[in-house]
Structure 1
Amino acid sequence: MPQPFVFRTIELDGQTLRTAVRPGKPHLTPLLIFNGIGANLELVFPFVQALDPDLEVIAFDVPGVGGSSTPSRPYRFPGLAKLAARMLDYLDFGQVNAIGVSWGGALAQQFAHDYPERCKKLVLAATSAGAVMVPGKPKVLWRMASPRRYIQPSYGVRIAPDIYGGAFRRDAGLAMAHASKVRSGGKMGYYWQLFAGLGWTSIHWLHKIRQPTLVLAGDDDPIIPLINMRLLAWRIPNAELHVIDDGHLFLITRAEAVAPIIMKFLQEEKQRAVMHPQPAFGMRGS
């Protein structure tokens, strides 16, 4: 059985961060999760439960979200990546694997780029290269620009099929279950997250990401059209792309199917080629 999460609230540079760690076994590199915009850490629990119970998992609420304090000034992705590295120091973690979802995928790219020695492997789910992305439909982007779905759960349930696509179009209960786990950090925290990504792009340094990278995309994602994930997989040198038959939140709705793909990627080691000596002349064919 998986271990329960250990919750801690820590303070770094005057910023209060709510963290959760699911203990694991030392033979697996811990997995650090960068969550989507406005999303508190509880929203990824269904995905975590589908992962190998031996895998240690680190989740946290970014500033202004969930149980973390809202900063008085806006921040950018490089500053958040630095904060994540400091959080790992505080929690006594060295090298980790990182997974980033949607907005958190941009932060994961920044973390892998700025702290390559801390990030062994990278998983990017339903995300993009930022400002140069091929955008979703204007109606969807307009709804994403507001924190209303997190502050008013009934509104979030109503628009879920349009913004998340996939299974949310077919199962109304998914939206209800998702909304029940939401813990809003307020409007300002959401706007700070939007500001962090304003004008940001990784397109000019994606080729410098050397970590083995798994790119996961939904084929019915209204927020991040599939072409954006193909672009990431093309620009990152050591990347592989998997397309999931679902929408934006496939990590949650297809957790049982996606988790084994991620575990296989995290556990495989590139083996060196073994040079076998030529057999003696008289042994050939035997």
Structure 2
Amino acid sequence: MAIAVATVVDFVVDTNPNGDVPQIPGMPSMPTIPPRLPGLPTGLPSLPTGRVHRLPSGGAETWLYRWNSDDELVEVSTPGGERWRYRYDPLGRRIAKQRLAPDGTVAEQIGFVWDASVVTELIHSSGYATTWEYAADGPAPLAQMERPPGGPALWYWVRTDLLGTPTELPTPEGEVARHAAASLWGETPAAPGPSTPLRFPGQYHDPETGLHYNLFRYYDPAIGRFLTADPLRRSRSRRTTGPRQGPAGSP
């Protein structure tokens, strides 16, 4: 019988508070918080409103982010030269993301179908569609159905952790088609085979940026922070771009 070895990570809570800060041997500590942009690590250039608009990715390569007046991310330029455009409905829900060709035309599109505040279906411009069924008492997904154009539908159950984050995709026959080994802050490595873009409850993974779309904001699992401040401005903490509480349960 194989025994899985778990990774143990120690956490400390500072006095700002900035939340849980992982202490991992051999890894740099979490950057400090600059006064001009509470909650985001030092070195992320930002606009006066606190939105990240340029993020160095190493060397001379740069990610560019464009926002509208409602703090909605409307366009991203990647270091590889791709441009992605994001569209929203009047309720602030993202209804489409589009990869643009060099001439500005739409080369690829993914449409989003909503039921209140949860995404229930994705429709790709190729005709490929993905649909989710959710629990009646919360945002935890129960099943995922994929419909390739011209092919049979593929069904998967969705097994989640206690938070409602997908961890496994069992088939109707009981085989685990996908096991997601996410970090404590939600970063999930890419792997071949079936997958789901759903992450923490209410979050959707964008592979083109690595960010998680979270209805009114975008979350970066690499740093455990949102790219914009809490739109409700109800937090008493200076950490307006951080989660309401750390993954370990601290305030």
For the criterion TM > 0.5, the same-fold answer is no
Could you say which TM-score interval applies, normalised by the shorter chain? Answer: under 0.3
More strand by share: 2
Structure with bigger RCO (C-alpha 8 Å, 6+ apart) = 1
Task: Give the structure with the larger helix fraction.
Answer: 1
TM-score (norm 1): 0.23
Q: TM-score, normalised by structure 2?
A: 0.25
